Amino acid sequence: AAQAVCAVAQVFILGLPSRIASVWFGPTEVSTACAVAVLGNQLGTAIGFLLPPVLVPNTPNDIDLMAHNIGIMFYGTAIVSTLLFFLTGVVFEEKPKYPPSHSQAVLQMKPPEDYSYKQSIINLFKNIPFILLLVSYGIMTGAFYSVSTLLNQMIVTHYAGEEVNAGRIGLTLVVAGMVGSIICGLWLDYTKTYKQTTLIVYILSFIGLLVFTFTLDLGYLIVVFVTGGVLGFFMTGYLPLGFEFAVEITYPESEGTSSGLLNASAQIFGIVFTLVQGKLTTDYSPRAGNIFLCAWIFVGIILTALIKSDLRRHNVNSGIMNLDVKAVPVDSPVEPESTLKIQSAL
């Protein structure tokens, strides 16, 4: 029951990076802000790799001590979460006094009562580029979830008794991913090359997983540390790219809705990939499970290459695009009389 409550809460957290970035930050910093927010999530994951083995050491001969240590870990988590809850209620504001960008100014002109979640979902599923991104994002992130979940099993299969180093490799994977997230966010703000960057990172993730797969059984842990770090750098660096690319091609739809669907896709693919890869790893070898993921990531590369790069939000912020504040599918024509010039909107 507690796990179910935490899972529901997670839904409201995972979609925040792109929403907060769009509402609070201008065009030259929005992608970096999104990347920093994703970094925060990954920092929590890194702490999750690091602290539990320290707080709850393996004491099979003293179950009462183990129960006591687990209690300390959970009570500590509850205290931190409660403190963050109160800080959020007291300190955080819904939005800044003045919109940070043209695109936000247009969206804030629309009365809240005119927003329809149902219609927003319909519009998103009519948006073919978004559907392609939805599937490709699910594949990449689901593969990352699967690798993270089964990493310990893969390491121990080839390096018996190295459970501690397996945790350290997982930590390396996440920390490298934090660096990748920031670099990708900075690069997007500097270049605005959303599709090109997303595609390149996708290809490099594919290459990284191939190298990780075929070097895992060489017998050198240092090689696994390096290849795991490279893999985490690109696979986690992809997360803010996916969020920001989705916001660009779905504007003026809510960032929370698009990122929520991306996260749902990632969870679905993550569950399927973890089950299948786990079965292949158990019945055959870690290499078989990783090759399965490589095949799917290759499919994701093809889907990403097919995405039409229609940077709606960027065009609005640049003042070169007329936009109907009512969302329309990507390929739908917009009649001149139904458009709203950015200049008049401001």
Q: Is the pLDDT of residue 221 over 60?
A: yes
Question: Residue 240, Cβ neighbours under 10 Å: how many?
Answer: 27
CATH of the domain at 207: 1.20.1250.20
**Which amino acid does the sequence have at 106?**
V
Q: What is the mean pLDDT of the chain?
A: 83
Same domain? For 159 and 287 the reply is: yes
Q: Cα separation of 330 and 241, whole Å?
A: 20
Q: Is the pLDDT of residue 336 over 80?
A: no
Whether residue 20 lies inside any domain: the answer is: yes
Q: What pLDDT digit, counting tens, does each position of 263-320 carry?
A: 889 989 999 999 999 999 999 989 999 999 999 999 999 999 999 888 777 777 777 5
One domain for residues 65 and 173? no
Judge if 34 and 177 occupy the same domain: no
Kindly state whether residues 49 and 175 are assigned to the same domain: no
In this structure, the answer to whether residues 85 and 219 fall within a common structural domain is no
What the block records as the tokens of 208 is 């990284």
pLDDT at 277: 93
pLDDT exceeds 60 at position 57: yes
Domain membership of residue 243 (yes or no) is yes
Percentage of the chain lying above the pLDDT 70 cut: 91
* Whole-angstrom distance, CA of residue 56 vs CA of residue 187: 40
Angle at 312 between CA 310 and CA 313, to 5 degrees: 140
211 & 270 share domain: yes
219, with CB counted inside 10 A (0-12, 13-18, 19+), is exposed
Per-residue pLDDT band for 343 (boundaries 50, 70, 90) equals: very low
In single-letter form, the type of residue at position 90 comes to V
In a domain, 326, yes or no: no
Residue with more model confidence, 255 or 127: 127
307 within some domain: yes
User: Rounded to whole angstroms, what are the CA distances from 183 to 61, 206, 233?
Assistant: 46, 19, 10
Amino acid making up residue 339 = T
Residues 50 and 138 in one domain: no
Domain count, the chain: 2
* Domain edge (last residue) among 103, 126, 161: 103
- Distance separating alpha carbons of residues 301 and 195, to the nearest angstrom: 11
Residues 188 and 228 reside in one and the same domain: yes
Domain hosting 63: range is 1-103
pLDDT (average), residues 3-19: 81
Q: Please tell me whether residues 70 and 4 are part of one structural domain.
A: yes
32-36, 96-100, 179-183, 298-302 — which one is most confidently predicted on average? 298-302
Whether residue 95 contacts residue 24, with contact meaning beta carbons closer than 8 Å, is answered with: yes
pTM to 2 decimal places: 0.80
Position with higher pLDDT, 275 vs 239:
275
pLDDT above 60 (res 4): yes
Q: What is the mean pLDDT of residues 212-216?
A: 91
**What pLDDT score does 321 carry?**
53
Tell me what pLDDT residue 320 has. Answer: 57
Instruction: Indicate the pLDDT class of residue 332, thresholds 50, 70 and 90.
Output: very low
pLDDT band at 329 (very low <50, low <70, confident <90, very high): very low
Same domain, 223 and 99: no
Of the residues 72, 103, 134, which one is the last residue of a structural domain?
Answer: 103
Which residues are CB-neighbours of 316 under 8 A, at least 6 positions away?
Answer: 102, 103, 106, 251, 323, 342
Pick the last residue of a domain from 53, 70, 103: 103
Residue whose C-alpha is closest to residue 180's, from 38, 301, 13? 38
User: In the predicted model, is pLDDT for residue 247 greater than 60?
Assistant: yes
Q: Is the residue at 331 inside a domain?
A: no
Give strand pairing partners of 340. Answer: 323
Average pLDDT over residues 130-134: 94
Same domain for 79 and 228: no
Q: How many beta carbons lie within 10 A of that of residue 341, not counting itself?
A: 12
Domain presence at residue 221: yes
Distances (CA, A) of 73 to 57, 84, 94, 277: 11, 17, 32, 30
Q: Is 208 a member of any domain?
A: yes
Q: Is residue 111 assigned to a domain?
A: no
Residue 12: pLDDT over 60: yes
Whether the per-residue pLDDT at 324 is higher than 60: the answer is: no
* Rounded Cα gap, residues 86 and 88, in angstroms: 5
Q: Are residues 99 and 178 in the same domain?
A: no
Across 64-92, average pLDDT: 90
